[in-house]
Amino acid sequence: MTNKIETSTPENTPTPIGPYNHIAKVGQFISSGGTAGVEPATGQLAGPDAYSQTKQILQSFQVIYVAIRWVRPKLCYTFECLFEKYE
């Protein structure tokens, strides 16, 4: 039996740069691809610095996770928040 590959790119996420989608699903296995720090509405970088672009990437991942009906993650925008998650 061959599993069907389902792919999608949710609205409100940046358009993929290459020939791929942000989400691929085979059976119960779900993979989410990378995304750039780009504003979906404009196609431009979310800001001039790494912080702005990283924040946009995390917001895009939140949209992706909601699209696959995964529990809405708490997004971290500071190192302190990240360290709390792994202590």
Q: What is the pTM of this model?
A: 0.66
Q: Which domain holds residue 19?
A: 5-86
Beta strands 23-26 and 5-8, pairing class: antiparallel
> What integer pLDDT is reported at residue 68 of this predicted model?
78
What CATH number should be reported for the domain holding residue 63?
3.30.1330.40
Under DSSP, is residue 43 helix (H, G, I), strand (E, B) or coil?
coil
Q: Using CA atoms, how far apart are residues 22 and 80, in angstroms rounded to an integer?
A: 28
Q: Using CA atoms, how far apart are residues 56 and 9, in angstroms rounded to an integer?
A: 16
pLDDT tens digits for range 25-80: 888 778 877 788 999 999 899 999 999 998 898 888 888 888 877 655 555 556 56
